[in-house]
Amino acid sequence: MKVVLIDSGGANIGSVRYALERLGVDAPLTADANVIRSADRVILPGVGAAGTAMALLRDRGLVEVIRGLQQPLLGICLGMQLLFDASEEGGVECLGLLPGTVTRMRGGEGIRVPHMGWNTLSPTRTHALLDGVPRDGQAYFVHGYCAPVTDDTLATCNHGQTFAAVVGRGNRVGAQFHPERSAEVGARLLRNFLSGDLA
């Protein structure tokens, strides 16, 4: 199986590659449209600002490439947020593969933003991406913006507000948390993405 990581300029790419290597998968980092189109699985990682990442994807001519992918696509952290229509972070138009707008987390008394650390996943429906993930599974989050809970939400999390932690529509799926830093829960999600029929 050919798996590739889209070079979106994210700082977490090295750790994602290492997590995949632990699963026996060598996933090269690429901005080559032909390499991306020919892959069996595509991962869009990301750490940073939505506007910066989208500008980089546009500059590299990858926005329409990603929008046109038919094979399974996994967005991680910012990469998941980029799957949505837009983000309040810089007021940027995103990929539009999932409906909704990513918004800044509200915070509040005792609620720190960015949301950093372990938190509980609450699955909302059965899906191949979450096969074997316990209902109270813990995952590691680092983010200050969050995606809305919609019909495409597969699992939620709560940090001062309920937000989408895992999403999916057909072959387009995403995780707000960092599977590469989420121990067995993260490894299970990656294995499911690599082996499962997501549609």
> Which CATH number fits the domain that encloses residue 21?
3.40.50.880
Does 180 qualify as catalytic in the annotation?
yes
* Annotated catalytic residue, options 127, 143, 159, 178: 178
Q: b/e string for 103-118 if b means 16 or more Cβ within 10 A?
A: bebeeeeeeebebeee
* Annotated catalytic residue, options 77, 94, 146, 157: 77
Amino acid in position 26:
D
Centre a 10 Å sphere on the Cβ of residue 3 and count the other Cβ atoms it contains. 20
Query: Which pLDDT tens digits describe the chain residue by residue (199 residues)?
Result: 999 999 987 666 788 999 999 999 999 999 999 999 999 999 999 888 999 999 999 999 999 999 999 999 999 999 999 999 999 998 999 999 999 999 999 988 889 999 999 999 999 999 999 999 998 999 999 999 999 999 999 999 999 999 999 999 999 999 999 999 999 999 999 999 999 788 6
**Global pTM value:** 0.96
Does 77 qualify as catalytic in the annotation?
yes
Contacts of residue 90, Cβ cutoff 8 Å, sequence gap at least 6:
49, 50, 51
* Annotated catalytic residue, options 88, 157, 180, 184: 180
Spatial contact of 99 and 148, defined as CB atoms under 8 Å apart:
no
Spatial contact of 54 and 46, defined as CB atoms under 8 Å apart:
no
How many domains is the chain partitioned into structurally?
A: 1
Provide the domain limits for residue 191: 3-195
Spatial contact of 105 and 116, defined as CB atoms under 8 Å apart:
no
Does 159 qualify as catalytic in the annotation?
no
pLDDT tens-digit map of 3-30: 999 998 766 678 899 999 999 999 999 9
